[in-house]
A and B are shown apart, each in its own frame.
Chain A
Amino acid sequence: MIEIKKMVVKVSGKTILDGINLTVKPGEVVAIMGPNGSGKSTLAYALAGHPKYEISNFQFPISNKKKKNNWIIKLDGKRIDDKSPDERAKAGLFLANQYPMSIPGLGIYSFLWQTWKKRSQISDFRSQKDPKVMSLVEFRKYVVELAQSLNLNLELLGRSLNDGFSGGEKKKMEILQMLVFSPKYLVLDEIDSGLDVDALKIIAQSVAKVAKEKNIGVLVITHYNRILKYLPADKVVILEKGKIIKTGGKKLAEEIEEIGYGKI
């Protein structure tokens, strides 16, 4: 379970999130919705450990942060808010970025292979494939299968990571990385922005399927309800001006679709 306790997040001294309490259980899909500027993406970055996002606790000033009981984020009972992004990833957290970076010259197969090897060193690696017996050739086949399931242009796999990719291709690449990585918890940061209907459907269904199969806890950050049609949320949380203003079930998302954030 991901547990967030009274989390305050500041960027350059400015408070963006103000006292967030939230949990995501294994296998649970939690949607975070809210208008632009409500702090949705900040929540994603703060969870993943981006250095620009300064996390503190509502009750305890930053100076007391190191104290044992002053935890802010826990993953399966272990504190992670004092950990670096790579350590959080190794704990099983995967962030699918809203704006994935391009890394020219970093070949995709090579990158995915390194990701796979890194992740497979961790005891709770949940891939269906056994990392001990997979050769590089088999791994390439496996990646091709995953890419095909996402209807990703296979020609792209021969390129550098996200280099010259369209917005939609980058988003599919995020999901492909996620499938290889096999996380315990997945944060989707506006994965639906800039996607056409077909791509959105493929991505959302693929996430829903793998989350169910492997009991992955998913935090879906989105502006719109449409992704939730294919990736049904168990819980919907509405953020506004850095605070959670409402929590509900699937119906809450539908309501927002009809009447907008202003009336909630």
Chain B
Amino acid sequence: MAKYKYGFFMPEDNVFKAKRGLDESVVRIISNIKKEPEWMLDNRLAAYQKFLKMKMPSWGADLSGIDFANIFYYVKASQKTEKNWNDVPADIKTTYDRLGIPEAEKEYLGGVKAQYESEVVYGSLMKRFSDLGIIFCGMDEALEKYPKLVKEYFGTLIPMGDNKFAALNTAVWSGGSFIYVPKNVKVDMPLQAYFRINSANMGQFERTLMIIDEGAFVHYVEGCSAPVYSESSIHSAVVEIFVKKGARCRYTTIQNWSTNVYNLVTKRAKVETDGVMEWIDGNLGSKITMKYPSVVLVGQRAHGEILSVAVAGRGQHQDAGGKCIHLAPDTTSRIISKSISMKRGRASYRGMIMMAPGAKNARSKVVCDALILDKKSRSDTYPVNKINESEVTLEHEATVSKIGEEQIFYLMSRGFTDHEAEAMIINGFIEPIVKELPMEYSVELNRLINLQMEGSVG
């Protein structure tokens, strides 16, 4: 495969698409095309066997609609460029127009073009990063260039047998990001997957690995708040992050897949002494999302934070939350979850706080607030606490609210229409999360929610 400058894959003339469905030959073909080392192929094959043996989760959202035999597990980038703009659903096009997304980006987001033309911006940024000793590249490239580093960490935090979808990802993964930030290097601007979005990165089974060395800091932003049209019905990513002593990592995701997609993602971070991990997670799109970013606090005073916002509209079930596992003394964690359900949508919070014996003085706070916009929509909370140490503090707050008639009247009496008033209340509700997002994302998130309420999206 011809390599593009800065790790992009150049579309090629010879098109390849693995056959529909999954068997050992498909796994071998993927590994072979990528010219992977032996150990990765063995890893994939073992994971494939795990995937076959493991059961579907018996909890969470309804996944009975997934037809594993009817999915393409590997499609080369160039294949995706063959689509015509006319094939992109009209509602998604309308949303692009209303968000004012430039033509070039529209075509990329709609899946028409595999390459977003940001090479120049991206190039100068990449030089800045590499001057600092930062490695920021695609997972495939990392495996080729930094095999030792990848082998040392890959699959050690989320083993292939963690869950059926982690096994599936390990067997057929393709694309994703690799990031290494050296000791004490603090990256002053977010590393954005947005700059390097291409079909490999936005793939169905992307695999991301990040190592933040001692005292370093990085903010990584992935995804896109504009709706991303995908023809494939399953997206199952795995993200592993290692936060070393005194390091800090913030990982921001905005997910807005088209509403035919099952989005089943496993994300976990291991945090050492005095380290900080922050997951900021926005779920707007997909048919079903099951995603519970986790922090494993292994060192003293390690801190984990999970801020999430989910919007469930027509035909959607957002089953999201977080897990905090306290394994060391004085560790702290906080989960803030905000969900909005409307138009028969369903939003669930599912979370777990675990405090192991010896995690003395561990503290955790969970706040989950749900806003239900109409009688036909639904919200549930499934918190689990496993506390095996007596000297700990755990707080849990949960609220379920509706938009009050009085609040609407109050804002309308200031000259705002009922839609504007509702949007102001909703945007206020998610503001504690939105203010943590990079600005362009927060602006777009607010506008998207307004659009969705008007019924022009989804």
Interface residues of A (CB under 8 A from B): 48-52, 84-86, 88-90, 94-95, 97, 100-101, 103-107, 111, 114-115, 118-119, 160-161, 177, 181
Contact = CB atoms under 8 A, between A and B. Distances in A.
Contacts of A94: 413-414
A97 B404 CA distance: 16
Nearest to B409: A50
Interface string B396-437: 000000001111011111111110110011011111100000
Contact of B429 (A105, A111, A115): A105
A115 B413 contact: no
B415 A103 contact: no
B404 A103 contact: no
Given A51-B405, A52-B405, A86-B417, A106 B412 contact: no
Interface in B134-164: none
A176 B254 CA distance: 37
A177 B410 CA distance: 12
The winner among A97, A105, A161 for most chain B CB atoms within 10 A is: A105
B414 A89 contact: yes
A76 B420 CA distance: 26
A87 to B, nearest CB: 9
B429 A118 contact: no
Given A51-B405, A103-B407, A105-B430, A95 B425 contact: no
A63 B411 CA distance: 29
B427 A106 contact: yes
B412 A103 contact: no
B15 to A, nearest CB: 49
A264 B431 CA distance: 52
Contacts of A106: 424-425, 427-428, 431
17 contacts: A49-B413, A84-B412, A84-B418, A86-B415, A86-B417, A86-B418, A89-B412, A89-B414, A100-B410, A103-B410, A105-B428, A106-B424, A106-B428, A106-B431, A118-B414, A119-B415, A177-B414
Contact of B412 (A86, A97, A104, A119): A86
B447 to A, nearest CB: 14
| B411, B417, B432, most chain A CB atoms within 10 A | B411
Contact of B431 (A50, A95, A105, A181): A105
Interface in B361-419: 404-407, 409-418
B405 A105 contact: no
A101 B414 contact: no
B415 A97 contact: no
B430 to A, nearest CB: 7
5 A-B pairs with least C-beta separation: A105-B428, A105-B431, A89-B415, A85-B412, A106-B428
Interface of B: 404-407, 409-418, 420-421, 424-425, 427-432
Given A86-B420, A105-B432, A115-B415, 20 more contacts: A52-B405, A84-B418, A85-B409, A85-B412, A86-B414, A86-B415, A88-B413, A94-B413, A97-B410, A97-B413, A101-B404, A101-B410, A103-B411, A104-B428, A105-B430, A106-B431, A114-B416, A114-B424, A118-B416, A181-B415
B370 to A, nearest CB: 14
- Residue from the set B405, B420, B424, B432 with the largest chain A CB neighbour count within 10 Å: B424
Contact of B424 (A51, A90, A95, A111): A111
Contacts of B415: 86, 89-90, 115, 118-119, 181
Contacts of A160: 428, 431
A112 B418 CA distance: 17
A77 to B, nearest CB: 20
B413 A85 contact: yes
A89 to B, nearest CB: 4
Contacts of B417: 84, 86
Contacts of B429: 104-105
B415 to A, nearest CB: 4
B413 A48 contact: yes
A51 B428 contact: no
Nearest to B401: A104
A123 to B, nearest CB: 14
A89 B418 CA distance: 13
Contacts of A88: 413
A89 B409 CA distance: 11
Nearest to A118: B415
Contacts of B412: 49, 84-86, 89
Q: Which of B409, B415, B418, B429 has the most CB of A within 10 A?
A: B415
A85 B432 CA distance: 29
Nearest to A121: B415
Q: Considering residues B406, B410, B413, B432, which has the most beta carbons from chain A within 10 angstroms of its beta carbon?
A: B413
Contacts of B425: 103, 106
Which of B414, B418, B421 lies at the interface centre, i.e. has the most chain A CB atoms within 10 A of its CB?
B414
A131 to B, nearest CB: 14
Contact of B407 (A90, A101, A181): A101
Contacts of B430: 105
Nearest to A101: B410
A106 B420 CA distance: 12
B409 A115 contact: no
A181 B406 contact: no
B50 to A, nearest CB: 44
A161 B425 CA distance: 11
B416 A101 contact: no
Contacts of A118: 414-416
B86 to A, nearest CB: 38
A14 B404 CA distance: 23
A103 B409 CA distance: 12
Contacts of A181: 414-415
